[in-house]
Chains A and B, each alone.
Chain A
């Protein structure tokens, strides 16, 4: 690592630390219904939306009601998105005349965008019309992120409320997070991106003649508006196939810096907001510290693996415009935060760096994680940590004064383990099945890594691709669809159930007999639980993938 790499890392961390409490405070105000910066300019719009849709934003919902509204909203959006794709040839804003999307791909893409995964088995510029991109995919970039925030809010309320039967109103949370957080930030960010050189046009693709006289089609489109939310909402679905490695998506080092920051800023600020809403900022910072530590451990390992002096071909697949460090930092951020945008080929990362990318996702996308999803995912681990730690101090475990009992443990375990189950079974079935291994680009352990990565990315709702594997076929399209679906809702429903169960409980005041869930001991314990659960589940699989590949590479053997 060179001095300017260190400088960039420092700037990145400083910007993140600075923005976290600012945005966290703003969101805490927005979601607790207090007056805030945007009440005056946009408050009328919120009320108008409620009136137009016949929603009473103040009507409180039970967790079942909340979950039902959330699922109905998501399923309806998903169906609509699939229909748009399959009829795009007949819809407007298709200047390039792209055909309708086939069923398996349409279903895969619809679920992918609904679940905030943005797994793309297609190349945007060659498959999706401007209309599909804007009215379909970009809309879901907003709603899936807003859904994540809503679940995180519901769980936060569950912890903060005392003996309450309700956990908030889904429609109000959805509207407020979109209107006051995601839209304004995206707007600002899109304008900055346009200034940096990201394209934003309805014009058809441009045909250019290259120096050699060959004809080249240069795809264009309303990109900046979509890239902004793709990063901020940790969606990651690129406008173009190569995602943030495309000069029209990510033109300059500054845009690269901002896109990385944009991935982390909302997940990080949500943790801060959480601390404020439960009435103790240190609760938020303790969780944040665990996330930051896991991020730095991952980044450190990746850098160590990539900056080996005698590693062959370290530049392969890297973002050559911004250098190895920016590829590595981007890869860590995007896999930590469940974003899935990429500016380098993860397939070409050295084995251990690829291992880190996978482990980041296998931990359950809780290292800042997806917008909202990172927070509620990490809170599941917090509950497990509190349970074990509570036993060790000789009290029935409690978190923020709420007793953690069988119901919470049951749901937390489901939330933590459901994605793991998808990854292991999906990978095993793919490897044992000729259809699953037919499209592999690489032999040897790297092939195993490619399959494992695909399932991990889908189940963790990350959406980044290791690539090196052809996944646009019915087997992977439907299989990964299922993984994305389970990986999303098998965490959301438990999170809401826990929210409901905790909201109904009494809050016991803390005493010196209750162990503190703030401070270094708790943070370390939380990190240990996250790592141990991940390690115990995936060590055998990782051994036969990136670990053995690394050992072989050291012995000078490649496949």
Chain B
């Protein structure tokens, strides 16, 4: 049991009561959040503080495996498990190293034979330091050393965006996503329907309708109610009237009546009225029960609004239908562009909504998603994920409720909202502390960036070796097959960089090798810049930069270092 001021001892579920909890320790968000028993906001995290009221918490996490613990271990990266991709890359790098070891340590045999063949002795420098210098330059130390840094920086970039991943594997999987399942509410739309227009009944002015609608919404604190209020004010500058000034009674919305409104008593010459707004059928029944007639024009307006995918609310004053308020899902600004980007990246978006197909279709078209699932129950989500996976696609989704947990667990990347239930948070492999479902798009980008950085550095590192051969081999074999009286043999021709001397050549290559690792650390941490475009274009650009660039850069770098060494009389 936790009362105000208490720290919650460990992760768990609220089983009784409601409280304001300060979760700034994990989210960085200073405004406290509400945690209550039942429903989708029942999860509490160990280490957070109860600010007011009293809750009973059932601890669900084992000691040492709480959210905070996992967060710490992820960020520390100490016992970081290698992802399958890192393992595969590791195998490649180790094998390359083995080949270089072999190529370098068979060199003395070749060199000694050549010395005998040239009837020279001691002209080839295959001493251990030189061989070690060559091997150090050749083996992919750059990428090897930076591999962990790249992995951790990926996690770190997620953390900075307030997303906690339970494994590096999940971050990588995010880069491979083919299908994104997005809940409509909160992700694609603002989350709540907003009033956008008034459609008055015949004989009623629009401002009268707006006035009545505003009156009916006076006590309605829901966002929808507020939006009616605001629209009336914006359109007709109708000032708010105080509830108690009118001594009106608020009639709250119930599932049975499916209406809300106010009853205004007669006062100073004004007639008593009952203003209602609600679902078309409910209001129609209400009007008819009072003996009024429901005008066909209103019925028609209702039908039209529904067809557009918007929600109609009929407003009535006593037994007269005044008109219809059109409520619409507002698609978030910029979301269409986001989806277009995703499409370029090869990711399909699927909108999931409990709305009927008509509404869902209209919003899907407006937001530019590729597909939608209307009237989707949690089981449908799970089914859809399984179907996509059976077709070989990787699926990501976001969710918060307990009923999302199976789908979150089934998805390849499941992002749970921090406001969600403990079950959802356990089931997903990432938790978004900001509870912002749009973030999935950023997570995908980070995952891709992670792999790209790895690929770019590997390519760069291997491409570098060409130049190092051209620096060190001529240095080793400079005197070989030299005609008597000369110290320079034919293999000096391989010294294409015209490096000053064998010593300066080997030194320059080793120094370049050391410097390039340092130079690449910030790059490994920052990651390759990601742009949403087709894979072929990305490949061409990165091959050009890191492949061709990787061949050229060390030639320039080693030559520069050689010049500096000579200028400083170090070699």
Closest residue to B83 on the A side, CB-wise? A396
Is the Cβ of B448 less than 8 Å from the Cβ of A559?
A: no
A393–B469 alpha-carbon span in the complex (Å): 29
Is the Cβ of B455 less than 8 Å from the Cβ of A541?
A: no
Q: Which of A10-18, A239-247, A514-522 contacts B (4 or more CB under 8 A)?
A: A514-522
Shortest beta-carbon distance, B346 to chain A, in Å?
2
Is the Cβ of A516 less than 8 Å from the Cβ of B535?
A: yes
Is the Cβ of B451 less than 8 Å from the Cβ of A528?
A: no
Is the Cβ of A543 less than 8 Å from the Cβ of B491?
A: yes
Is the Cβ of A508 less than 8 Å from the Cβ of B98?
A: no
Closest residue to A433 on the B side, CB-wise? B109
Closest residue to B124 on the A side, CB-wise? A544
Q: Which residues of B, 61-107, contact A by the 8 Å Cβ criterion?
A: 84-85, 87-89, 91-92, 95-96, 98-100, 102-104, 106-107
A548–B449 alpha-carbon span in the complex (Å): 44
Is the Cβ of B393 less than 8 Å from the Cβ of A395?
A: no
Shortest beta-carbon distance, A268 to chain B, in Å?
27
Q: Which of A394, A431, A444, A515 contacts B451 (CB 8 A)?
A: A394
Is the Cβ of B462 less than 8 Å from the Cβ of A409?
A: no
Is the Cβ of A431 less than 8 Å from the Cβ of B109?
A: yes
A543–B491 alpha-carbon span in the complex (Å): 8
Q: Please, what's the 1-or-0 string for B106-126, where 1 marks a CB less than 8 Å from any CB in chain A?
A: 110111111001100000000
Q: Which of B138, B469, B535, B542 contacts A395 (CB 8 A)?
A: B535
Q: How large is the interface on A (under 10, 10 to 19, 20 to 34, 35 or more residues)?
A: 35 or more
A443 within 8 A of B: yes
Which chain A positions have C-beta within 8 A of B99? 417, 420-421, 536-537
Which chain B positions have C-beta within 8 A of A387? 88-89, 92
Which chain A positions have C-beta within 8 A of B519? none
Q: Which of B113, B343, B543 contacts A392 (CB 8 A)?
A: B543
Closest residue to A432 on the B side, CB-wise? B109
- Most chain A Cβ neighbours within 10 Å, of B85, B345, B530, B542: B85
Is the Cβ of B481 less than 8 Å from the Cβ of A392?
A: no
A384–B89 alpha-carbon span in the complex (Å): 10
Which chain A positions have C-beta within 8 A of B146? none
B534 within 8 A of A: yes
Q: Which residues of B, 433-490, contact A by the 8 Å Cβ criterion?
A: 447-452, 454-456, 458-459, 462-463, 465-466, 469, 473, 477, 480-481, 483, 489-490
Q: Which residues of A, 502-517, contact B by the 8 Å Cβ criterion?
A: 506-509, 511-516
Is the Cβ of A424 less than 8 Å from the Cβ of B118?
A: no
A210–B536 alpha-carbon span in the complex (Å): 69
Is the Cβ of A427 less than 8 Å from the Cβ of B110?
A: yes
Secondary structure at chain A's binding surface: helix, strand, loop or mixed? helix
Q: Which of A507, A508, A511, A540 contacts B469 (CB 8 A)?
A: A540
Shortest beta-carbon distance, A518 to chain B, in Å?
10
Q: Which of A432, A447, A507 contacts B117 (CB 8 A)?
A: A447
Closest residue to A391 on the B side, CB-wise? B455
B269 within 8 A of A: no
Which chain B positions have C-beta within 8 A of A384? 92
B494 within 8 A of A: yes
Q: Which residues of A, 442-466, contact B by the 8 Å Cβ criterion?
A: 443-445, 447-448
Is the Cβ of B473 less than 8 Å from the Cβ of A396?
A: no
Which chain A positions have C-beta within 8 A of B343? 512
Q: Please, what's the 1-or-0 string for B525-562, where 1 marks a CB less than 8 Å from any CB in chain A?
A: 00000100011101110110011000000000000000
Which chain A positions have C-beta within 8 A of B96? 536
Q: Please, what's the 1-or-0 string for A382-413, where 1 marks a CB less than 8 Å from any CB in chain B?
A: 00100111111111100001001110111001
Which chain B positions have C-beta within 8 A of A405? 84-85, 88
Is the Cβ of A552 less than 8 Å from the Cβ of B172?
A: no
- Most chain A Cβ neighbours within 10 Å, of B99, B348, B449: B99
Which chain B positions have C-beta within 8 A of A79? none
Is the Cβ of A443 less than 8 Å from the Cβ of B538?
A: no
Which chain A positions have C-beta within 8 A of B391? 509
Which chain B positions have C-beta within 8 A of A404? 88
Which chain A positions have C-beta within 8 A of B345? 512-513
Which chain A positions have C-beta within 8 A of B454? 391
Shortest beta-carbon distance, B427 to chain A, in Å?
23
Shortest beta-carbon distance, A423 to chain B, in Å?
9
Q: Which residues of A, 410-430, contact B by the 8 Å Cβ criterion?
A: 410, 413-414, 417, 420-421, 424-425, 427-429
Q: A536-B99, A552-B490 are in contact. Are A513 and B535 (CB under 8 A)?
A: yes
Q: Please, what's the 1-or-0 string for A476-510, where 1 marks a CB less than 8 Å from any CB in chain B?
A: 00000000000000000000000000000011110
Q: Which residues of B, 29-67, contact A by the 8 Å Cβ criterion?
A: none
Is the Cβ of A536 less than 8 Å from the Cβ of B393?
A: no
B518 within 8 A of A: no
A525–B540 alpha-carbon span in the complex (Å): 10
Q: A396-B85, A513-B346 are in contact. Are A427 and B106 (CB under 8 A)?
A: yes
Is the Cβ of A394 less than 8 Å from the Cβ of B448?
A: yes
Which chain A positions have C-beta within 8 A of B459? 388, 392
A548–B478 alpha-carbon span in the complex (Å): 11
A437 within 8 A of B: yes
B344 within 8 A of A: yes
Which chain A positions have C-beta within 8 A of B463? 532
A45 within 8 A of B: no
A555 within 8 A of B: yes
Which chain B positions have C-beta within 8 A of A536? 96, 99-100, 103, 138, 462, 465-466, 469
A539 within 8 A of B: yes
Which chain A positions have C-beta within 8 A of B481? 444-445, 548, 552, 557
Q: A404-B88, A512-B534 are in contact. Are A544 and B458 (CB under 8 A)?
A: no
Is the Cβ of B118 less than 8 Å from the Cβ of A513?
A: no
Closest residue to B348 on the A side, CB-wise? A511
Q: Which of B113, B172, B175, B455 contacts A388 (CB 8 A)?
A: B455
Q: Which of A401, A424, A432, A511 contacts B103 (CB 8 A)?
A: A424
Q: Which of A388, A394, A444 contacts B530 (CB 8 A)?
A: A394
Q: A406-B88, A544-B477 are in contact. Are A431 and B102 (CB under 8 A)?
A: no
Q: Which residues of B, 340-387, contact A by the 8 Å Cβ criterion?
A: 343-348
Is the Cβ of A417 less than 8 Å from the Cβ of B98?
A: yes
- Most chain B Cβ neighbours within 10 Å, of A396, A509, A514, A532: A396
A426–B237 alpha-carbon span in the complex (Å): 93
B178 within 8 A of A: yes
A547 within 8 A of B: yes
A539–B469 alpha-carbon span in the complex (Å): 8
Closest residue to B105 on the A side, CB-wise? A428
Shortest beta-carbon distance, A397 to chain B, in Å?
8
B493 within 8 A of A: yes
Q: Which of A392, A428, A509 contacts B110 (CB 8 A)?
A: A428
A535 within 8 A of B: yes
B392 within 8 A of A: yes
B400 within 8 A of A: no
A395–B448 alpha-carbon span in the complex (Å): 6
Shortest beta-carbon distance, A84 to chain B, in Å?
37
Which chain A positions have C-beta within 8 A of B112? 431-432
A508–B538 alpha-carbon span in the complex (Å): 20
Is the Cβ of A540 less than 8 Å from the Cβ of B117?
A: no
A551 within 8 A of B: yes
Q: Which residues of B, 143-174, contact A by the 8 Å Cβ criterion?
A: 172-173
Is the Cβ of B109 less than 8 Å from the Cβ of A428?
A: yes
A540–B109 alpha-carbon span in the complex (Å): 11
Is the Cβ of A429 less than 8 Å from the Cβ of B536?
A: no
A101–B458 alpha-carbon span in the complex (Å): 51
A337–B463 alpha-carbon span in the complex (Å): 28
A448–B115 alpha-carbon span in the complex (Å): 11
Is the Cβ of A508 less than 8 Å from the Cβ of B178?
A: yes
Shortest beta-carbon distance, A475 to chain B, in Å?
15
> Can you list 7 A-B contacts (CB < 8 A)?
A405-B84, A406-B84, A431-B112, A448-B114, A512-B346, A516-B535, A541-B106
Q: A405-B84, A405-B88, A540-B469 are in contact. List 17 more A-B contacts (CB 8 A).
A: A389-B455, A392-B459, A392-B539, A394-B449, A417-B98, A417-B99, A424-B102, A429-B109, A432-B112, A512-B534, A513-B534, A536-B462, A536-B469, A539-B469, A540-B110, A544-B110, A548-B481
- The 5 A-B residue pairs whose C-beta atoms are closest, nearest first, are A513-B346, A391-B455, A394-B448, A551-B490, A511-B346
